[in-house]
Structures are given as structure tokens and as C-alpha cells.
Amino acid sequence: MVKERRYISKSGWCVEEKLVGGGSRTPAQLFPEKYQRRRRLLILIIIFVVLVVIILVTIGLVQKLVLTKTLKYGIVIDAGSSHTSLYIYQWPAEKMNDTGLVTELTSCKVKGPGISSYWMDVKKAGLSLKHCLRYAKEQLPDKQHHETPVYLGATAGMRLLRSQNQNLSQDILTSVEEFIKTFPFNFRGARIISGKDEGAFGWITINYLMGNFLQDQDGGNRPTVGALDLGGASTQITFIPDGKIESVASSLHFRLYGKSYNMYTHSYLCYGKDQALKMLLGQLNVTNDGSMWNPCFNSGYSQVINLTTFFNTPCTSGPQTTTHQTVTLNGTGDSAQCSNYVKTIFNDSPCDWSSCSFDGIYQPPVQGKFAAFSAFYFVMNFLNVTEESDFDKVKKSVDSFCSRPWSEVRSSFSIEEQYLSEYCFAGHYVLSLLHRGYNFTSNNWNSIKFMRKINGNNAGWTLGYMLNLTNMIPVELPYTRPFTYTSYLTVMVIFSLLLLILLSVGCLIYKKKLCSVENKI
């Protein structure tokens, strides 16, 4: 009879029984019931781990999916002095307040002049919007037409008309309102906005699109950018100065995203590009033969103008002494003389404040970066100097263009002659307004950035206007997520690895305990 002896071998997972005389039996043979329980438990653990991994992977994939956005829309109609434009904005429906979420979907330029030009036939003011309102209707989903707000803001052209005839300006607004109401939008009204509001909303638009209202990575406040706007009938300057603002009339207070802003803003009616040209022409003499010689038009340029329609504005009284109803405007292309003439537009009135711009208007010293848009951009872009930081080089470019004969200019550019002919004056006017008017010097000229768009959005007052009327700019900082997307994935990976480690340790502990029990047996 063969005597058997059992002992523990360290080979394998647990124990192995050796038999005297050869042969062996595994733990599964020695303890079949316990082995089966352990195997079932391990299978459950493996299934659980697999499920956890699948869940984590699924969450990660779902997080990365680009889901179909539910969007809301808003329309703002900019009824300017020289033309009207319609802008359509969109934003995610579930996110109303975060900076930069509202973006421009598309825009439409209304054919013809500004609505203030229809004072002789007010019904045409509303009809002029027909094409762009139809375009807006086509661009937006049918089911959202009735909930899309439409705002119309009229600027300096209508402010001038209102100063001449308040009833007539109201008739034009009524015509516009009645026509817009024929479209299936949520029309919120048409009104003439003040120059102060126009400057403030332009400043809000610029800084909103640049993300300057939110905090930087260190938790500090980002510096804001000043806004320089030039239209056809007015110009605005808005910025945050150092120290106290002396003039209450030029001061505005905003609290946006948890920070208070005390801004300086002023709007100069009649100092838009078109009205400034009329003021300049009003100062020039008409000769006995009905001619007017202007150094701010290229040599060889000639145009017959009707004084009655050309000077029908409160900004100028027209030529002082002339019996002519029409005059012939002739260009001489004298850049130096044009520069001197343009400077006379700015009145050197006594300054009763610590510092002034022109016409005795209070203005603190300019500081920081500035965004110059609207006609500022278009004039400088035409002269190809939007990126030039040297004031003297910009002036040389203006001088060079003014010295070119009209025949050469006309053949070199495919632009409507009415606008092309005014670029010599416009170049000098922009330089004088910024340098002599707003007190920018050759030392800080590079602080001005001429721009048309910011991240695909037109620079101007319309976006800020809509954000204000829809209450989409919060007073305090909006709630932010505790984790960024990257942080979220990092936390998920760390905890997933920790889960696997804990499960592995648990399995090892379980195996060791089972082996000890079997060893005792």
C-alpha cells in the first residue's frame, strides 16, 4: 500500500497537492465547491470591469459628439444716414449670457440711401427695406419667425432730420414700423438712438466680441479696447480713461460680468464724413461763372452740383454769397492745401476743462488700444494703410493719392465715381479727426487698429444694441463649469485607473485568503 503525503507547492495560483508515488491533484480537484464559487465571483468582477470601461468610453464619445444646436435669432436694422443695413444674429438657445456666444449669421445692405433721405416721400422709407426683410425671412427657419425679435435703430441722419422737423422724422419711423409689421417677425419697435448710446453700444460690441469682459487665466480683468466710429453724419469716441471723468454729460456707468466700467463717450453730430464734406464745401467761394475750386478732389475732376439739395442740412448754411442754383465743382488735387482746409472744420474753442478735443468739448487723454471701424476702416483700407503704424507714412499715402490726376484714378479703380472722388478729402479728414480732433499723435498712432470685422462679425453698434435690449449681458459673472473638457477627461481617466487598481488589489486579497484556507485544510 502506497502512503500519501500532502504539501503546498508555490507553483500556480494557489496550492497543489503532491502524492507520494507520483501524480498530483489541483485545487479544483481538492476543493471543487470553493473553486466554483471563486470562479463565479471572478467572472462577475470581470463583467463589472468591462461594463465600467464601456460606460467610461461611451461617456467620452458622447462628450465629443457635435450635437445639433438649438439656435435662437435676433435681427437689428441699422438705419444710418447714408445707407441702411440689416444684421441677423444667432446664439445657442441653452446659453444666453456667455461672452462671444452671440455671432453674426449674415447681413444685408439695403439698396438706396438712408431712410432720412425719403422725407419727401415717407412711404418709400419702409418699402426700401423689402428686399432685406425677405432675405431675412428666407435665412431663418419658418417655425422661428414669430419668436425672432426685430429692432430698428436710426442714427445721426434721423437725429439731424428730427432737429429740423420732428413730425416728419416721426412719419418716417411710422412708415418703417408699419412695413416691418407686414413680416412674420416679433417686431420690437423703431427708434432714433442717441449719439451717446451709439458710442456705448459700439464699445460693448467690440469688447464683447474680443472677450474682454471675462477674466483672464490668472483671474484678473482683461483690459478693454476703446471704440472709434465714423459714420456719414456723426462720429463717436468711447473709452475707459484713468481717473475721474469731469463731464457728467460724457460719462456712462456699466456693470457687466461682475465688473463696473466708468466710460467716457461723446458723439459729434455733423462730423460724420459726408456732413464734414458739406461743411468744407460750404466754406469755399463760388466764382462769378458758377465754379467752385476744391483742393480735396483730384485734379481734372469736375461735377455739377445743386446747392439746394447739397446744403439742405443744419450742419452748413451753404455758400454765403451766390446767385447760382447749381455750381461746377472742380478739383485741383492740392494735398497740402486740402489738409489746411480740412483743419478749419474743427473749431478751436476755448477749453474750460483740464483737456479737450475740439469745439471746446471735454475729453480725457486717450489711452490704451483702440478699434476704429465703419468709415475709419473703409477709408484707410482703400488707401492700403490699415496695418501702417507710422503716422507720417499714412500721411504720405494720402498725399500720394491726392496728387494723382482724376483720369488716372478713375481708370485704376472700379468704384462708383461719387465715392471714389471723395477719397482724397476722406483721407485728410480721417487724419485730421484722429490727430487734431481726438488728440492721437505719431507716438500713439500704433494704438489704433482699423478693423471691419472681429471673428467674422461686423464691428459696429448693432450687436451691443441687441444684447442690451434682450438683456443678454449679465451684471454679474455667469456660472462656469467646474471642469473644462480637458480636465473632465483627465479626471475620468484617473478615476478609471484607480477603479481598476482597486479591483485588482481586491482580487489578489481574495485569492490569498482562499489559498490560506485551502492550506489549512
Calculate ∠ Cα 360-363-369, nearest 5°: 145
Question: Which one, of 177, 224, 186, 233, lies nearest residue 205 by Cα?
Answer: 224
Choosing from 17, 138, 198, 518, which is the catalytic residue? Answer: 198
CA–CA distance from 232 to each of 117, 127, 269 (Å)?
13, 22, 10
Residue 476, SS3 per DSSP = coil
* Structural contact between residues 252 and 263, judged by C-beta atoms closer than 8 angstroms: yes
- And the C-alpha cell for 9? 507547492
Quote the cell numbers at residue 246: 469731469
Angstrom distances, CA of residue 328 to CA of 60, 281, 304: 74, 12, 4
Closest by CA position to 60, among listed 52, 68, 71: 52
The amino acid at residue 493 is V
Whether 76 contacts 191, CB under 8 Å:
no
Query: Could you count the other beta carbons within 10 Å of the beta carbon of residue 488?
Result: 15
Where helices occur in 65-165 by DSSP H, the ranges are 123-127, 130-139, 156-164
Per the annotation, the verdict on 147 as an active-site residue is: no
Do 153 and 76 contact (CB within 8 A), yes or no?
yes
The DSSP result for 164-203, as a single string, is H-HHHHHHHHHHHHHHHTTSSSEEEEEEEPPHHHHHHHHH
First to last CA, the chain: 24
3-state percent breakdown (helix, strand, coil) of the chain, nearest 5: 40, 20, 40
Nine cell digits for residue 368: 490704451
CA 482/CA 453 separation, integer angstroms: 32
**d(Cα 99, Cα 114) in Å, to the nearest integer?**
32
Query: Which residues, including other chains, have CB under 8 Å from residue 221's CB and lie 6 or more apart?
Result: 215, 259
User: Which DSSP category does 145 fall into?
Assistant: T
Cα separations in angstroms, 65 against 60, 68, 411, 477, 483: 9, 9, 54, 28, 18
Residues forming the active site: 198
